[in-house]
Amino acid sequence: MTFVLRDDALAELVDLGDLIDAVRTAHLDLALGQADQPVPAISPTAGATIVLPMVATSHRLGLTVVKVLTDAPGNTDGPTQQSTLIVLDSRTGTRLAVLNGRTCTRMRTAAASAVATDALSRSDSRVLGLVGAGPLAVEHVAAVRRVRPIDEVVVWSRSAARVAEFRRALRHREHADGVPALDVTPAPEPRLVVEVADVLCTLTPSRVPVVEGAWFRPGLHVNAVGAPPRPDHREIDSAGMARATVFVDSTGIQLQKSGEALLSLQDGTTTEDDFRRELGAALAGLVPGRTGAEQITLFNSVGIALQDLAFAAVALQARSGETQPRDLSRPGLRSVSTR
């Protein structure tokens, strides 16, 4: 049977803690050869719109995901990015599910940031800085506080109305999750967010840098998340990429479509070797993670189909009510800490 999972049902269906575990395991699988994540080919269409078919396979789960992402910056009638997932049995090719990609993308992106934060940030991180205040910001607060004892959020957006809506949405989410309300402090400019944050998440679709590396303070961890998959878009300037120890979701994909990577390479502040530390390799102990309290770490997140596959696996398990679920996390892995 093929499940067609509507977007409005997915947020209730997928538990965020389960998803964080599944995304962590997916990155480990990639590092250990238990998953394939090819570099997608970008297909230009009319005008500036691109179509990006993203494919990944988990050999351990026996699943393949094909995600079709469209990025249409000129679309004034709806979202600029839209996506659809097709989930396949990788052995038989049987179609198992079709998912709208909006909720999936938002939740798996935040889950990946939580995995990176858990692996790379200081364990005593308490202040979460947000540059950008949309729905992805709310999801990041929920995800990051699963892995760190966050007690304050500092947020900036170009729109005061957006910050006000973020605060309302966060209160609603905290009530729904049954967790204590966090202190939320609006900041008048991005620099003031960066300078007080222990963990910083950049969540804007910016084409030009909104965060400068000169603002980074020792011990900071950054999740660079918001820039779309275009080589001329970035949120972090070249100095920031050079100051930080950078970890990536996939080196091959970074060097094709990350503006943070490609523009800093063009500026001569980084080399390709700076983008060869994959998150999964750090989780597996194949490369060092954080090595000191004053080290600045940065997870450059462009988003990979293997994260979508992790979301789809959790959703299918929850939807089918399996009593013997697929092994979404590896025995012996450290569980995500909760408050």
Of the pLDDT bands very low, low, confident and very high (cuts 50, 70, 90), residue 75 is confident
Percent of the chain topping pLDDT 90? 81
What is the C-alpha to C-alpha distance for residues 49 and 43, in angstroms, rounded to an integer?
Answer: 9
**How far is residue 41's CA from residue 267's CA, in Å, rounded to a whole number?**
25
**Is residue 164 very low, low, confident or very high in pLDDT (cuts 50, 70, 90)?**
very high
- What mean pLDDT, rounded, does the chain reach? 91
* The pLDDT of residue 73: 76
Q: Is 138 left (phi over 0), alpha (psi -120 to 50) or beta?
A: alpha
CATH no. for 120-300: 3.40.50.720
Whether the model clears a pTM of 0.85, i.e. scores above it, the answer is: yes
Question: Is the pLDDT confidence value at 111 over 90?
Answer: yes
pLDDT surpassing 80 at residue 197: yes
Between CA 211 and CA 197 the distance in angstroms is 13
Which one of 38-47, 101-110, 317-326 scores highest in mean pLDDT?
101-110
237 HSE (CA, 13 A, CB side): 10
- The residue-averaged pLDDT of 141-168 equals 98
pLDDT confidence bin for 301, thresholds 50/70/90: very high
**Antiparallel, parallel or unpaired: β 63-71 and 95-100:** unpaired
9 Cβ contact partners less than 8 Å away, ≥ 6 residues apart: none
What backbone torsions phi and psi does residue 211 show, to the nearest 5 degrees?
-130, 135
Residue indicated by tokens 């990944």: 56
Q: What is the pLDDT of residue 44?
A: 65
* Total residue count of the chain as it appears in this document: 339
Short-list 3, 228, 65, 208, CA closest to 136 = 228
CA–CA dist 111, 18 (Å, integer): 9
Q: With bands split at pLDDT 50, 70 and 90, how would you rate the model's confidence at 1?
A: low
Binning pLDDT at 50, 70 and 90, where does residue 332 land?
very low
- Residue whose token pair is 């395991």: 25
Could you tell me the pLDDT band of residue 287, with boundaries at 50, 70 and 90?
very high
Report yes or no: 27 and 35 within 8 Å, Cβ to Cβ.
Answer: no
The pLDDT of residue 228: 83
Give residue limits of the domains in the chain: 3-104+305-320, 120-300
**What are the residue ranges of helices labelled H in the chain?**
7-13, 16-31, 101-120, 135-144, 160-177, 190-196, 238-243, 251-257, 259-267, 279-283, 305-320
CATH for the stretch 3-104+305-320: 3.30.1780.10
